[in-house]
Structures are given as structure tokens and as C-alpha cells.
Structure 1
Amino acid sequence: MLGGCAHSPPAPSAEEYQASTDDAGSRAVANASDDSLYAALGGKPVIDAVVNDFLYRIAGDERIVDFFANTNIDHFAEAFATQLCDISDGPCDYAGPSMARAHQQMGITNAHFNAVVDHLRAALVDQDVPAGPRNRLLGRLARLHDAVMLRQP
């Protein structure tokens, strides 16, 4: 399913995406404290744009796209955006499976993990997330490495 996205147009910029969102994105930003990582990232509109950009990158990467072959991409995008919102102190509560459970026995190597991180970093850069908030988010996500790799063959 994701493989078909490789030929789709690039993700919209954060500005284009924000212009197309309704008041829900504005309310979400207003609900987070002004000094939260969530607010520094740009709130829901930017997180959604980053996730969208990230998925296009994954779709074009033969090293890792097969890990998403049987994934409901819409569900994954929503869950990943919620997880990014939650981990950045936004108004979301990620209630999905643990990272160890979600990734168990997939055969993920450090090279695969690093490729995913590189795509997320590039999506954050391309969506104009400033270096400080970008690095804070990546640092929080780096703590998940051991859980993702816990049950690999």
C-alpha cells in the first residue's frame, strides 16, 4: 500500500498545510503551554505535515518500505502523529501498543532504525522545524531505540 505513495506528489510545506487546516489545529496549539516542545514544533499542523513528508520518504526507500507493506498507512499516520504529539507534551495521549510489541520479531537492524530516523530528521528539516525543537524531539524519540530493538531476531 505504501509503495504506491512513492509516485505521489511531495508533501505540502508546513505553511501550505496550515493554510488548509481548520480551527482544530489552532485549538490544539492553544491547549499546549507556550513553552512546550509541542508548541515549539508548531503544533498539530506541523506534526501532521512532518508525518506526511516522512511517509513519502519511507515509500521511496527500498531498504525499509517492506516493513510497511502490510500496514494500514492511514492508521499508522494517525497513530504516529498522536505519538509525536504526546511525546512532545501536546494535548494528545498515545494509547497504541508499546514500541517493543509493535516492532517485535520484524528483523529490524540498527541500519533500518537509523534510516527511519534519517527520514524523520529530513522531514522535520523540510517542514522548517527549528534545530532546537527538532533536536529535542529526536532526543526524546531516541529513548525508544532499546524498546524497538528489544525483540528483534
Structure 2
Amino acid sequence: MTDSVYEEIGGKAAVEAVVEDFYDRVLADDRLVGFFEGTDMAELRAHQVQFISAVAGGPVTYTGGEMRDAHRHLDISEADFETVGTYLERALRENDVSEANIADIMAEVSALEDPILDR
């Protein structure tokens, strides 16, 4: 039996480290920080850990909001989406996730571009 991406990257602790790194990068970007004003970041980080865990084949089910509904009010541009994706990819790489597993996770995230951009 082969390990899931979730198991290969180190499970919950590894996903939590990636999410912390990811949000450190996103919130340091003046172009993106405004999207998070008034947001409970602890709750958002927990949702992101759940989401990444789920798309990586972990033993969780994502229970956050529907992507289109959760992001519609933000008016996110394609450039914003790409920048956030770049930060996620860097966070994964900086936390020693293999290139193959990065590709798998980023493919799942990229598939959400249209709903997140409300297209």
C-alpha cells in the first residue's frame, strides 16, 4: 500500500508548518493583506490545515465553505490568485515537501481557480 501525499509530507504537524509559513508570506504582502482584514486568522489557519490535509489525502474531510461563496465578496484577481499560489508553493518547498507532492497539491489548488475567482 502506498502512502498518501499527506503521510509522505509528514502528516498534521507538517501541514500545520506549511500553513504557518504560507500565511506569514501572504500577510507580509501589502497587495494581499487587505483581503484578511477582520478575519479570524486562527480559524482561517485551521480551515487551511483541514483543506490542505484533505487534498493531500489525509484522514480528514474539508468542512469549510463552498469555495465560490467563501471568496466571491473578495473580488480576487487572477494575479492575486497566482501570487497566493506562489506563496503556497514556496511554503511547501521550504518545508521540504518533494517536488512530486508539491505538484499534486498545487494541481488540486489550481483546479479551484475558477470558483475562487467567481468565473
TM more than 0.5:
yes
Question: RCO greater where, 1 or 2, for CA within 8 Å and sep 6 or more?
Answer: 2
1:123 aligns to what?
Answer: 91
Give aligned-pair identity as a percent: 31
If you compute each CA radius of gyration, which structure gives the higher value, 1 or 2? 1
| Cα distance in 2 between the residues matched to 1:143 and 1:63 | 23
* Residue aligned with 2:58, SS: coil
Pick the aligned partner of 2:71 from 94, 100, 103: 103
Q: Is the counterpart of residue 136 in structure 1 residue 89 in structure 2? A: no
After superposition, residues 74-85 of structure 1 pair within 5 angstroms as: 74-85=42-53
> 5+ residue gaps in structure 2?
none
Equivalent position amino acid for 2:84 in 1? V
1:22 aligns to what?
Answer: none
| Cα distance in 1 between the residues matched to 2:10 and 2:31 | 30
Matched pairs, number: 119
| Cα distance in 2 between the residues matched to 1:77 and 1:56 | 11
Aligned pair in 2 of structure 1 residues 149, 87: CA closer, same or farther (>3 Å)?
same
1:60 aligns to what?
Answer: 28
| Cα distance in 2 between the residues matched to 1:46 and 1:34 | 19
Which deviates more from structure 2 when the two are superposed, residues 59-68 or residues 39-48? 39-48
Equivalent position amino acid for 2:59 in 1? P
> Residue 89 of structure 1: CA displacement?
1.2
